[in-house]
C-alpha cells in the first residue's frame, strides 16, 4: 500500500513516517493486513537526512496539480497533518484560510478522484472548542472556536465527515490535545510554550512562559499522538459510524506543576530557567481552550492517553538522549 503524509516535514509527520517504516504494514481493522510499499512525504520543507526509504515531495498544499500528481492513482492512505498553526492562522487570516481550509478541500477533492476511496486521517485540534465551556467537556460539547485556526479545523471536520458519508473517502478526524514535548525550536503555535518550558531548560536555555502557573492545558505526548494516528487508520469504518470526529484522550496538566515535575526530574538549576511573564493576549487564548475531557467515545474506539506529566517529560528525555 502507498501512504501519503502531508506536513511530513514537521516533527509529528516525520515521526509518524518513521513509525510506519518500523511497523511495515497496516491493518484495516476488518481482518486485512497490508504491507506498506511506499511512504510519500509532502511538505514545503524537510529535515536533513531523511530516511532513504521515504519519498519526499516538496510542494504547496494549495497547488492542486501538485497534490493530484503526488497522490497518483495508487494512494491507499492519507495522513493529513499539514496546517498553518494557530498563531500563524490568527496573524495571517488569508494564509490560514488558504492552507487550512482550501488546502484540505483541495486534498479531499483530489482523493475523490482516486479509483478507490482512501482512508483519510485528519488532524483537527481541541482549539475547535472555546467560549463558555463546561468544566469537563465531553463528546457532546459543541465546537465554538475563538480563533480562525479552530474555525478552519471544524469546517474541515464537517467536510471530512460529509466526504465520508458520500463514499469519496473513508475519513477520521482526530482532535489533538496540545502536544508536549516537541523537540526543536519554538513555533508560531500559541501552545508552543507547553513544549518550550520543558525543552529549553533541558537545553540550558531560558524559556519565557506567557501564561500563569495556574493555567491548565490538555496534553498528549508526541509518541501517543503518533500511536493515535496509526490507531485511527487501523480502526474499522463501522466503529466510526456517520460522525467521523473524535476528541483524543489526554491529561490535564497545570503549567506550574509541569515545571515542578521538571524540577523533580532535572533539578533546580534547570527548572529555574523558566521565566514567568504572562502575556494577556496569549493567556486569554489559552484560557479559552478546554483543559479537561470525558473521552468515552475515544476510549471505546481504543485510543490511549499518557499516564502523567512525569512520563511525558521522561519520555522526551529518553527520546532525545539527554543526560541529566
**Residues annotated catalytic, as ranges:** 149
- Which C-beta is closer to a second copy: that of 72 or that of 131? 131
User: Which residue reads 482516486 in cell numbers?
Assistant: 114
CB contact at 8 A, 242 and 179: no
Q: What are φ and ψ of residue 258, in 5° steps?
A: -65, -45
Number of residues that bind a second copy (CB under 8 A): 21
Q: What are phi and psi of 123, to 5 degrees?
A: -95, 100
Whole-number CA gyration radius for the chain: 19
Cβ of residue 74: shortest distance to a second copy, in angstroms?
24
Say which residue the cell 460522525 belongs to.
243
Task: Pick between residue 39 and residue 246 the one whose CB is nearest to a second copy.
Answer: 246
Site string for a second copy, 145-184 (x = CB under 8 A): xx-x--x--xx--xx-xx--xx------------------
Selected from 63, 69, 93, 284, the binder of a second copy by CB under 8 A is: 93
Q: What is the DSSP letter of 138?
A: -
- The residues with which 80 forms a beta bridge, in sequence order, are 6, 122
**Of 67-75, 117-125, 140-148, 217-225, which segment contacts a second copy by CB under 8 A?**
140-148
Site for a second copy in 117-136 (CB under 8 A): 131
Residues 6+ apart with CB under 8 A from 79: 3, 4, 5, 6, 13, 16, 121, 123, 229, 233
Q: Which stretch binds a second copy (CB under 8 A): 144-152, 179-187, 215-223, 312-320?
A: 144-152
With cell 498553518, the residue in question is 84
| 233-292 binders of a second copy (CB under 8 A) | 242-243
| Smallest distance from a second copy to CB 159, Å | 7
Grid coordinates of 215: 493555567
- Residues between 3 and 42 with contacts to a second copy, criterion CB under 8 A: none
**Spatial distance between the Cα atoms of 309 and 179, rounded to a whole number of angstroms:** 12
Residues within the interface to a second copy (CB under 8 A): 93, 131, 140-146, 148, 151, 154-155, 158-159, 161-162, 165-166, 242-243
Amino acid at each position: 500500500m502507498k501512504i501519503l503524509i502531508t506536513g511530513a516535514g514537521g516533527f509529528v509527520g516525520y515521526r509518524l513516517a518513521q513509525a510506519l517504516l518500523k511497523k511495515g504494514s497496516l491493518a484495516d481493522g476488518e481482518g486485512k493486513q497490508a504491507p506498506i510499499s511506499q511512504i510519500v512525504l509532502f511538505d514545503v520543507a524537510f529535515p536533513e537526512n531523511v530516511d532513504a526509504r521515504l519519498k519526499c515531495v516538496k510542494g504547496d498544499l494549495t497547488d492542486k496539480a501538485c497534490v493530484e500528481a503526488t497522490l497518483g492513482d495508487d494512494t491507499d492512505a492519507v495522513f493529513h497533518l499539514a496546517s498553518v498553526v494557530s498563531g500563524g492562522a490568527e496573524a495571517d487570516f488569508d494564509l490560514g484560510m488558504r492552507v487550512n481550509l482550501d488546502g484540505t478541500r483541495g486534498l479531499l477533492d483530489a482523493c475523490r478522484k482516486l479509483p478507490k476511496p482512501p482512508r483519510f486521517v485528519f488532524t483537527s485540534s481541541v482549539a475547535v472548542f472555546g467560549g463558555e465551556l463546561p468544566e469537563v467537556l465531553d463528546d457532546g460539547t459543541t465546537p465554538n472556536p475563538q480563533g480562525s485556526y479552530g474555525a478552519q479545523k471544524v469546517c474541515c471536520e464537517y467536510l471530512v465527515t460529509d466526504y465520508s458519508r458520500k463514499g469519496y473517502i473513508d475519513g477520521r478526524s482526530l482532535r489533538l490535545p496540545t502536544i508536549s514535548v516537541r523537540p526543536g525550536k519554538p513555533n508560531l503555535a500559541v501552545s508552543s510554550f507547553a513544549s518550550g518550558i520543558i525543552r529549553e531548560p533541558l537545553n540550558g536555555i531560558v524559556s519565557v512562559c506567557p501564561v500563569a502557573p495556574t493555567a491548565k492545558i490538555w496534553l498528549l505526548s508526541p509518541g501517543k499522538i503518533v500511536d493515535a494516528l496509526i490507531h485511527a487508520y487501523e480502526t474499522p469504518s463501522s466503529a466510526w459510524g456517520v460522525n467521523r470526529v473524535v476528541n483524543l484522550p489526554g491529561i490535564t496538566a497545570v503549567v506550574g506543576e509541569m515545571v515542578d515535575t521538571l524540577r523533580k526530574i532535572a533539578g533546580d538549576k534547570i527548572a529555574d530557567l523558566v521565566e514567568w511573564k504572562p502575556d494577556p493576549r496569549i493567556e486569554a487564548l489559552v484560557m479559552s481552550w478546554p483543559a479537561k475531557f470525558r473521552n468515552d467515545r475515544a476510549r471505546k474506539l481504543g485510543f490511549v492517553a499518557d499516564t502523567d506529566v512525569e512520563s511525558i517529560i521522561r519520555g522526551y528525555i529518553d527520546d532525545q538522549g539527554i543526560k541529566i
